[in-house]
C-alpha cells in the first residue's frame, strides 16, 4: 500500500497520462482516494466531472408530431349555421371503387408506401366524399389529397364523374424535392390530379352519415346560404356536394361530419 505522500507524488508525475497507460505497472494507476486531484479526462468514465447541480442534462430527443393533419384552409366567416373557408392549394390522388373498404385498401396501400418513392404519408383528416348528382347510388371513386401544397380538384369536372372519396395526405421522409409533390402511384387504379383553391361553406352534424342525414343537412345548408345571399358554384348548383368525415375510420366514438358546398364570392 502506497503512503499518502507517495500517492500524491505519483499522481503529479503521471498527470494526464494515467488512462493511456498499458497497465504494465502500478505507478500509473489513478491514486485511490484522490479523485479530486485527477485530471479532467477521467470524466470519460463518469468520474471527475462537474458536480450534479452543474451538469447539463442531455438534450431531449425530438418528439415527432403524429397528430392528424387537416387540409389547410383560411377561415373566412362563421355563422351559427355554417362556416366559410378558403381552402389552400394541394395535389390529389384518386381511385374509383364500388365498395368503400376496397377504396380504403387502395389508398391505404398508396399511403403506406406503395408508390414510386416508397414513402409513407402522414395521417390526415377529413375523409371527403364527393357526390355528383347522376352518380348517386352508382359506382364510386376515391381521391386521396397529397403533398405540401394541396388543392381541391375542379368540382365542375367531378360533376360528370362517379362518386369520389378523398383524404389529404403528406408524404414523410425523402428529400425536400421529393416531398414537394406526391409520388407516382404504382397501382394503375390510383391516379394523380391537380386540385384548385375554392371557398367552401361547411355545415356540421354528428352521428351516422346516412343518406337521410346528409340530405337533411344539405337542404339546411342550402337554405342558410340562400338566406344570406351566397350563390353556389356551378357544380353545386347542378346538385354536386361533398361529405367530410373526421375521426378514426374504425371507431365506436361519435363521428363528426360536414356537408360541403363551394360558393361564389
| Structural domain spans, the chain | 4-54, 69-264
Nearest Cα neighbor of 111 from 166, 161, 153 is 166
pLDDT band at 157 (very low <50, low <70, confident <90, very high): very low
Average pLDDT in the 198-212 region? 94
Nearest Cα neighbor of 246 from 169, 167, 146, 172 is 167
Q: Is the pLDDT confidence value at 108 over 90?
A: no
Would you state the cell numbers that stand for residue 74, as one nine-digit string?
A: 383560411
Please report the pLDDT score of residue 239 as a whole number. 93
69-264: CATH topology is: Multidrug-efflux Transporter 1 Regulator Bmrr; Chain A (3.20.80)
Would you state the cell numbers that stand for residue 39, as one nine-digit string?
A: 485530471
Residue 62 C-alpha from the chain's centroid: 16
| Secondary structure (3-state) at 66 | coil
Q: What are phi and psi of 217, to 5 degrees?
A: -65, -35
C-alpha dihedral (189, 193, 199, 205), degrees to nearest 10: 10
Instruction: Determine contact, residues 257/203, Cβ cutoff 8 Å.
Output: no
The residues near 105 (Cβ < 8 Å, ≥ 6 apart) are none
Would you state the cell numbers that stand for residue 148, as one nine-digit string?
A: 405540401
Between 116 and 62, the higher pLDDT residue: 116
Would you state the cell numbers that stand for residue 88, as one nine-digit string?
A: 389552400
pLDDT band at 27 (very low <50, low <70, confident <90, very high): very low
Q: Is the pLDDT confidence value at 174 over 60?
A: no
What digits encode the pLDDT tens for the residues 49-80?
Answer: 444 445 555 555 555 666 788 888 999 999 99
Please report the pLDDT score of residue 114 as a whole number. 92
Number of H helices, E strands in the chain: 6, 13
Q: What DSSP assignment string belongs to 235-262?
A: HHHTT-EEEEEES-SS-SSPPEEEEEEE
| Secondary structure (3-state) at 120 | coil
Please report the pLDDT score of residue 142 as a whole number. 44
Q: Is the pLDDT confidence value at 44 over 70?
A: no
Of 63-72, 209-218, 250-259, the range with the highest mean pLDDT is: 209-218
Nearest Cα neighbor of 165 from 236, 109, 100, 76 is 100
Please report the pLDDT score of residue 56 as a whole number. 57
pLDDT band at 162 (very low <50, low <70, confident <90, very high): confident
C-alpha distances out from residue 109 to 29, 54, 104, 119, 139, Å: 62, 51, 8, 11, 21
Amino acid at each position: 500500500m502506497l503512503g499518502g505522500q507517495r500517492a500524491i507524488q505519483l499522481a503529479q508525475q503521471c498527470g494526464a497520462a494515467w488512462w493511456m497507460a498499458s497497465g504494465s505497472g502500478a505507478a500509473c494507476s489513478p491514486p485511490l482516494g484522490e479523485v479530486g486531484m485527477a485530471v479532467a479526462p477521467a470524466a470519460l468514465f463518469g468520474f471527475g466531472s462537474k458536480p450534479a447541480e452543474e451538469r447539463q442534462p442531455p438534450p431531449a430527443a425530438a418528439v415527432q408530431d403524429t397528430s392528424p393533419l387537416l387540409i389547410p384552409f383560411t377561415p373566412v366567416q362563421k355563422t351559427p349555421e355554417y362556416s366559410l373557408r378558403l381552402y389552400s392549394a394541394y395535389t390529389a390522388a384518386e381511385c374509383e371503387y364500388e365498395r368503400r373498404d376496397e377504396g380504403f385498401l387502395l389508398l391505404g396501400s398508396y399511403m403506406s408506401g406503395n408508390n414510386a418513392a416508397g414513402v409513407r404519408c402522414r395521417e390526415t383528416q377529413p375523409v371527403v366524399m364527393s357526390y355528383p348528382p347522376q352518380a348517386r347510388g352508382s359506382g364510386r371513386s376515391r381521391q386521396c389529397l397529397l403533398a405540401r401544397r394541396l388543392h381541391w380538384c375542379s368540382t365542375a369536372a367531378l360533376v360528370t364523374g362517379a362518386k369520389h372519396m378523398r383524404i389529404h395526405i403528406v408524404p414523410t421522409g425523402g428529400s425536400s424535392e421529393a416531398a414537394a409533390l406526391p409520388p407516382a402511384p404504382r397501382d394503375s387504379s390510383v391516379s394523380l390530379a391537380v386540385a384548385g383553391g375554392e371557398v367552401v361553406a361547411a355545415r356540421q352534424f354528428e352521428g351516422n352519415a346516412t343518406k337521410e342525414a346528409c340530405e337533411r343537412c344539405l337542404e339546411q345548408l342550402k337554405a342558410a346560404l340562400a338566406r344570406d345571399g351566397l350563390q353556389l358554384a356551378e357544380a353545386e348548383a347542378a346538385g354536386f356536394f361533398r361529405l367530410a368525415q373526421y375521426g378514426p375510420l374504425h371507431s365506436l366514438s361519435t363521428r363528426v361530419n360536414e356537408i360541403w358546398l363551394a360558393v361564389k364570392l
